[in-house]
Structure 1
Amino acid sequence: MDLCLTLLLICLCSQGTTNAEVAEDQSIPLVPLIPLIPSHPKDNETANPANTTESSNQPATIATTTDEEEEEDDCQLIGRNPESLQAITAAIQKLGVQLLQNLEITPEQPNLILSPLSISLALSQLALGAKNETEELLMHHLHENTVPCYHQSLHNVLKQLKNNDVQIATRIFLRQGFEAKQEFVSESQRLYDSEPAIVESLQQINNWVENATQGKMTDFLSALPPNLLLMLINAVHFKGEWQAQFDPRFTSRGVFYLDDMHMVDVEVMEDAKHPLSLFIDNELEAQIARFPFMKMMSLLVIMPLSGQVNVSSLSAKLNISDLYERLPKERAVQVKVPKFKLEYSQELQDVLTKFGLGEMFLNPNLAEIADGPLLVSSVMHKSSMEINEEGAEAAAATTVVISRASNPIFHLSQPFFFVLLDDVTQVPIFMGVINNPNPGAPILQRGEFGNKDKVMFPIDKDHMGSFGSPPK
């Protein structure tokens, strides 16, 4: 059975409301947008000022056309250079880490799984419709003004990812009778392959989501949002197998250490001589391991030696591309990896507000989408991920609602941070923290019987231990 990685992103638009109504319904601040660097017409106004003095003897209309064509050509060249690729990769990595850093872990949801690529794509397409302070705020948080011709650069990254077996689908759903500005629609289509369609029914949207996620996400919406004007949807899907698969005959019951006092029962895949790139990073105080897929994709695992994943502490030192470049040659390693199938669901307004995007939910300027007040009212993210002997499978959906010697050993048996990334670009497709790969199972307490036999005792199912070191 092939395994898949899927992500979906939806943007819904509806009529703007009064500030009083927003105050009652919204508790989340907005994210500021930063002006897009030339990749669509409003960017090109300042993309190539040197051309303004050219062809002084030509008619004005001819000179303007020439300037626009030259500016577009310049952006296409800039968008393809390695520096732009690296800057886009760094920006998506940073956004993913910021989101994880600000999301809270709860006993009900001890794990975090999200797609930085999908969320970046959603906010980027939204930025196409933003103006002035809102655009500046979004673009600041998307790339901190480090990427010239941002949209064209992201467009080229998406094309490269698609060539590396990542499936990306986008769509604009419009309410019957609502007309978005043609420039926004055409630029969305040119840069992000986002075709417009009229909303006919809830089932129509859910069917699109299900098809875009290869059947991994059904009944995505339970109802159409009220006052719906516009939905921006994107889905990211990856399907792959490990280069070195695990033999199901050697999968057995094992334990995953939540901390030095508590553990949980899991199914553990095992291989006595698994080819693995593995090293210890002293600064991160963590083991780093790479599990490659068949077609230029990898699962990069960062397991702190302390047994505790502190994303805030990691983020200050974490450079995913640097870790990837420092991976040594593969060698035979005794490997144990837990099988798991996990789900995650979270409203992202609070976390986006925490790192500065609160204004997006209060009073955004989305005048490039349509005239009149529009309002982003929520950002919901849902995701799932499965790891088994054959490979990895994941799905995610995000809705943005706009109302108006001996073999070394690597046992993945305690909390870890993961990044599923493209090997060529190092763009993180999925990212997360696994603190408990079997949250539905009773938590066990470790005890001693004499000095040799280990005994596990069930504890209160509502108990949630802190994340410390596993037993020595």
Structure 2
Amino acid sequence: MKSALCLCLLLLGLQVQGQHRSNLNDEQQEQKIPHSPEDHSQAEDENLAHVKIAPSNTDFAFRFYKQVREEAGNKNIFFSPLSISTAFAMLSLGARSNTLRQLHKGLAFNLTEIEEQEIHEGFQRVLQLLNDPHREVQLSMGNALFIDDRMKLLQKFLDDVTNFYYSEAISSNFQNSSEAIKEINNYIDTKTHGKIVPLLKKLSSDTKMILVNYIFFKGYWEKPFKNLDTRDDDFFLDAKNSVKVKMMHQKDIFNIHRDEKLSCWVVEIPYKGNAAALFVLPDEGMMKQVEDALLKETVFNWMQSLEERNIYLDLPKFSMSGSYDVKGLFQKMGVTEAFSNQADFSGVVEKIPLSVSKAIHRAMVDVSENGTEAAAVTMIELTLLSAGFPPPPHIRFNRPFLMMIVDKTSHGILFMGKIVNPAAKED
């Protein structure tokens, strides 16, 4: 069974603002992402490119989370901030004037601290690191542009999206909308291993380009939970209501931290392959306080404060998905011009006014005991007899908690969410 299976997708539709005539698009070839070896033989500056964008990406993740929280109410939340920021950073290559400035601000990039070129070099490096086939974790991320075959992109934009973001550029017959929809959904189905149901339902007659970003993650716990230890237990939705869940149990050594100021436990559960899940359990009634404190400095302090402790850990199995109207959320974050008649995407194509008509994000996660198909191991562990030491803390994730999946190689938050009800199947 899977220990964690996470997929998400962002789909952006660019539509024309007025009538136009355009030329045939050149045929484009798929770009392969070169994997990034871990020997660090490349120039130090190149290796640090992903580090330079990490603080902004983390800021964006928490800003976006807080915007989603306002709309989600008492529902589960799960999304990939990296998927969203990558897609809009790629789109920004074709943005100009105030449209570009708003996108940078919305993505938490300050051009007095980082140059525009460095932003794209950072995402280029992240893509290389995430798509390294030699990693133990199964992880892939990529981009595609589906382009109306009557439209010709500017060569500079095309070169940049392929060089920095390894995007495929696929010429499509948008006049035959049903075939174009089928082609795009088939691409999504393939890249997410059949886990994301058809996302694109219809295609406007004004649509000229569909931008797709996908990320697929399948991880295996370094210390799997034993199936035989999983049993039915109560998960408390609030002080009065509970639901039955399959609760996994484990007694082992984990990196943990007790944040007394915010009244929460932080537990890091590592995956094989230099990735980890960070589970945050606020004390009863303290979820809002912890959410309000979600900043890059807070998480940095948590990570720096983790200590190895022997603990009893209870964690529910859960599977959930989420769909988000990124356009509406971005507009509330102050990114408005890209979606309006004032949009300036003159760097994408000449003399054709484009704006973003829709931005949809879908993500799903599946957490269970382990990822081992068939294996056997015998281990004899000797532990020091306790003599006056306090008993191991029992950390029970039996009430709403937060989750982040962090890739330690690229210094990025791949996914984050809030599990309010592990038994809920809402989308």
Same fold (TM over 0.5): yes
Cα displacement (A) at 1:308 = 4.0
1:8 aligns with 2:9: yes
Larger Rg: 1
Q: Quick one: distance in 1 between partners of 2:66 and 2:224?
A: 32
The change in CA–CA distance for 1:391 and 1:134 in structure 2 (over 3 A counts) is: farther
Q: Is the Cα contact below 8 Å between 2:7 and 2:214 reproduced in 1?
A: yes
Counterpart of 1:411 in structure 2 is: 396
Q: Quick one: distance in 2 between partners of 1:341 and 1:186?
A: 39
Counterpart of 1:230 in structure 2 is: 209
Q: Quick one: distance in 2 between partners of 1:105 and 1:134?
A: 25
Partner letter of residue 388 of structure 1?
Answer: S
Partner secondary structure for residue 287 of structure 2: coil
Counterpart of 1:188 in structure 2 is: 161
Counterpart of 1:257 in structure 2 is: 236
Q: Quick one: distance in 2 between partners of 1:121 and 1:302?
A: 26
Q: Quick one: distance in 2 between partners of 1:114 and 1:14?
A: 25
Q: 1:428 aligns with which of 403, 413, 416?
A: 413
Q: Is the Cα contact below 8 Å between 1:170 and 1:193 reproduced in 2?
A: yes
Counterpart of 1:332 in structure 2 is: 310
Cα displacement (A) at 1:177 = 1.1
Counterpart of 1:176 in structure 2 is: 149
1:80 aligns with 2:46: yes
Partner letter of residue 193 of structure 1?
Answer: Y
Partner letter of residue 433 of structure 1?
Answer: K
TM-score under structure 2 normalisation? 0.80
1:220 aligns with 2:199: yes
Cα displacement (A) at 1:296 = 0.7
Q: Quick one: distance in 1 between partners of 2:183 and 2:96?
A: 31
Cα displacement (A) at 1:110 = 0.5
Cα displacement (A) at 1:98 = 0.8
319-328 vs 233-242, which moves further = 319-328
1:269-348 correspondence runs (5 A): 269-271=248-250, 273-310=251-288, 312-315=291-294, 319-329=298-308, 331-348=309-326
Cα displacement (A) at 1:315 = 2.5
The change in CA–CA distance for 1:220 and 1:317 in structure 2 (over 3 A counts) is: closer
Partner letter of residue 150 of structure 2?
Answer: G
Partner secondary structure for residue 130 of structure 2: helix
Cα displacement (A) at 1:309 = 2.3
282-291 vs 182-191, which moves further = 282-291
Q: Is the Cα contact below 8 Å between 2:55 and 2:296 reproduced in 1?
A: no
TM-score under structure 1 normalisation? 0.73
Counterpart of 2:131 in structure 1 is: 162
Q: Is the Cα contact below 8 Å between 2:145 and 2:209 reproduced in 1?
A: yes
Q: Quick one: distance in 2 between partners of 1:227 and 1:308?
A: 47
Q: Quick one: distance in 1 between partners of 2:295 and 2:207?
A: 40
Q: Quick one: distance in 1 between partners of 2:122 and 2:353?
A: 30
Q: Is the Cα contact below 8 Å between 2:279 and 2:403 reproduced in 1?
A: yes
Counterpart of 2:365 in structure 1 is: 385
Partner letter of residue 104 of structure 2?
Answer: M
Partner letter of residue 96 of structure 2?
Answer: K
Partner secondary structure for residue 106 of structure 2: helix
Q: Quick one: distance in 2 between partners of 1:364 and 1:332?
A: 55
Partner letter of residue 291 of structure 1?
Answer: I
Counterpart of 2:94 in structure 1 is: 129
Q: Is the Cα contact below 8 Å between 2:323 and 2:361 reproduced in 1?
A: yes
The change in CA–CA distance for 1:300 and 1:391 in structure 2 (over 3 A counts) is: farther
Identity between Structure 1 and Structure 2 (%): 24
CA RMSD of aligned residues (A): 2.4
Q: Map Cα deviations across residues 97-151 of structure 1 (whole Å, 9 max, x no partner).
A: 1111012467897011110110010110110010111112212222222323211
1:373 aligns with 2:353: yes
Q: Quick one: distance in 2 between partners of 1:361 and 1:170?
A: 21
1:96 aligns with 2:76: no
Q: Map Cα deviations across residues 419-467 of structure 1 (whole Å, 9 max, x no partner).
A: 10102333000011111111259xxxxxxxxxxxxxxxxxxxxxxxxxx
Counterpart of 2:176 in structure 1 is: none
Q: Map Cα deviations across residues 288-333 of structure 1 (whole Å, 9 max, x no partner).
A: 100100111100011112344226522258532332232112x331
Q: Quick one: distance in 2 between partners of 1:347 and 1:127?
A: 19
Partner secondary structure for residue 142 of structure 2: strand
Q: Quick one: distance in 2 between partners of 1:289 and 1:232?
A: 36
Partner secondary structure for residue 322 of structure 1: helix
Counterpart of 2:385 in structure 1 is: none
Cα displacement (A) at 1:391 = 5.6
Q: Quick one: distance in 2 between partners of 1:308 and 1:436?
A: 17
Partner letter of residue 170 of structure 2?
Answer: A
Q: Quick one: distance in 2 between partners of 1:115 and 1:107?
A: 16
Q: Is the Cα contact below 8 Å between 2:15 and 2:354 reproduced in 1?
A: yes
Q: Quick one: distance in 2 between partners of 1:312 and 1:301?
A: 13
**Matched pairs, number:** 369
Partner secondary structure for residue 12 of structure 2: strand
Q: Quick one: distance in 2 between partners of 1:424 and 1:308?
A: 32
Counterpart of 2:183 in structure 1 is: 204
Partner letter of residue 430 of structure 1?
Answer: F
Cα displacement (A) at 1:225 = 3.7
1:143-158 correspondence runs (5 A): 143-145=109-111, 146-148=113-115, 149-158=118-127
Cα displacement (A) at 1:17 = 5.0
Partner secondary structure for residue 357 of structure 1: coil
| Ranges in structure 2 where 5+ consecutive residues have no aligned partner | 20-41, 174-178, 373-388
Partner secondary structure for residue 14 of structure 1: strand
| Ranges in structure 1 where 5+ consecutive residues have no aligned partner | 19-75, 393-404, 442-472
Q: Is the Cα contact below 8 Å between 1:321 and 1:426 reproduced in 2?
A: no
Q: Is the Cα contact below 8 Å between 2:400 and 2:418 reproduced in 1?
A: yes
Q: Quick one: distance in 2 between partners of 1:150 and 1:81?
A: 13
Partner secondary structure for residue 335 of structure 2: helix
The change in CA–CA distance for 1:333 and 1:236 in structure 2 (over 3 A counts) is: same
